[in-house]
Amino acid sequence: MGFALRVLAVMAYRPALFYLGDSVVYLFNAGHLRPDSFHPAGYAVFLALLSNLGRNLMVVPVAQHILGVAAASLIYAALIRRDVRPWLAALGSAPLLLDGYQVDVEQMVMSEALVTFLLVAGFALLLWKPPAPMFYLMGAGACLAAAAVTRSAVMVAIIPAILLVAGRDRSSLTRAGVLGVSFAALALAYAGWHAAADGNFTIDDKTGLFLYGRVAPIANCSRLPPSDQPLCDTRPIGHRPGEDYYIWSPMSPMRRHLRTHSYIVPEGRVGTFAFDTIRNQPFDYARLVLWDTARYFKPLRTTYYYDAPIQALQFPTSIRWATNIVLTNQGFVRSGGRALAPTRRTFWLPVATNLHDYQLIGYTPGPLLLLAVLLVGLGIVRRRPDRSAMLLVLCGLLQLVAASAAAQFDYRFLIPAQPFLMMGGILSLRKFSWARPLNIRT
């Protein structure tokens, strides 16, 4: 069924789905390969490589659908290798195969599919043959670093990865060191490339801008120093717009005061405002982060006016969406900067409608992900924790917390996190005899 969903998506939306303005930026960056202050260049490199396979932009969603199926297969195989029954291993891979939002982002010119595959591949290498051989460790470190330079928020995945291979003996510490060095080598190389391009030794140098947008709705102006006051919204807290307004609207206090209408803003100035607000209101900020993290576990997928619109992640069914947002006249670009011929756009309404209707119910339920977390927590409480399960769930939770700390609530951030929550929950069941294959029951 997962294969059929992907075939239908390719048939319904050709050449590809676009996500607001981000997809255009990615394609532009692919034609002018250099580190970008707004989006790390990992996905642009991926697009530039794909552009050598053909002139049709449709090669992007097709490749991403292949990555999605490959990631699901890796999860299934890794769970089987860790002594899980086949039907449970299939359940663990279901979010990648059958989730309508997963299929939707694979059809988009967006980085989610690539990031998810790289994270899954990295952890599959660590889980495949414990203790992981050195070659596997180097490959895992490279995969996790590639994910980090594609989306910097998932850099936190290296923490549970290192803990997964670390132990008290010298050999396990050596393996953890190999993993860490492999990760750091690629990440630092990218930061060096970034420094050579614009002088900033970093992977993502827009942290201050997004943190400003994150805390501006809760900032108490009276508690900020005079230098921060011009950037603070004087409207009462609780009656302010969402994060996007403060980052992008020309009417936001930051835009009006700094007199800039691009994403190039003084990082130090807006970053200082953000950190001053967090320092003055640590509990308000913590409550905001925890609340948005908890919302990913809701039964229904709904958003508020101040969130990223969930409609942008749903299969569109109207011509207005298809012509204005989804399909594009932009040509695919090669790494040399030469634009390819525009692809003829196709929008197949009957199939699109069926995909949209499926997506309304065909997604991974939040309570199921919460159950996976609770299963691991139960093992910890009973002092019978499964180390691998615990660290996989930690990987998923860290991704959600990191996203909630730096950006508005957006179901895109759940896409690369939910496979790890499911894998951890499935592995935590190994202590029950019914969850293990017959030939290894004890």
The angle at the Cα of 262, spanning 257 to 263, to the nearest 5 degrees, equals 100
Alpha-carbon Rg for the chain, nearest whole angstrom, is 22
Which tokens in the block code for residue 435?
Answer: 């969850």
Rounded to the nearest 5 percent, the helix, strand and coil shares of the chain are 65, 0, 30
> Of 72, 176, 61, 59, which Cα lies nearest the Cα of 121?
72
Q: Is the dihedral of CA 393, 399, 400, 404 positive or negative?
A: positive
Q: What is the DSSP string of 320-382?
A: HHIIIIIS--PPPB-TTSPBPPPPPPEE-HHHHHHHHHHHHH-S--HHHHHHHHHHHHHHHHT
User: Does residue 385 have a cis peptide bond before it, meaning omega lies within 30 degrees of 0?
Assistant: no
Which tokens in the block code for residue 312?
Answer: 């942008």
User: For residue 339, what are the β-bridge partners?
Assistant: 333
pLDDT at 410: 95
Tell me the pTM: 0.92
Helix (H, G, I), strand (E, B) or coil at 56: coil
pLDDT at 329: 41
143, 135 in Cβ contact below 8 A?
Answer: no
pLDDT at 439: 57
Which tokens in the block code for residue 425?
Answer: 């929950």
Q: Which amino acid is at 32?
A: H
> Of 226, 92, 64, 78, which Cα lies nearest the Cα of 150?
64
Helix (H, G, I), strand (E, B) or coil at 108: strand
Q: Which amino acid is at 157?
A: A
Helix (H, G, I), strand (E, B) or coil at 14: strand
* Residue pLDDT tens, the chain, 442 long: 889 999 999 999 888 888 877 888 888 888 778 887 678 889 999 998 988 887 678 899 999 999 999 999 999 999 999 989 999 999 999 999 999 999 999 999 999 999 999 999 999 999 998 888 999 999 999 999 999 999 999 999 999 999 999 877 788 889 999 999 999 999 999 999 888 887 778 888 778 889 999 999 999 999 999 999 999 999 999 899 999 899 988 899 999 998 877 667 887 889 999 999 999 999 999 999 999 999 999 999 999 988 998 998 999 887 554 444 444 444 555 544 444 444 556 778 899 999 999 999 999 999 999 999 999 988 887 767 788 999 999 999 999 999 999 999 999 999 999 999 999 999 998 876 555 665 544 4
- Cα separation, 98 vs 8, in Å, equals 13
- Cα separation, 213 vs 233, in Å, equals 11
Length of the chain: 442
pLDDT at 201: 82
For the chain, the domains span 2-204+299-440, 209-295
* Alpha-carbon torsion, ordered 59, 65, 71, 77, to 10 deg: -110
pLDDT at 38: 75
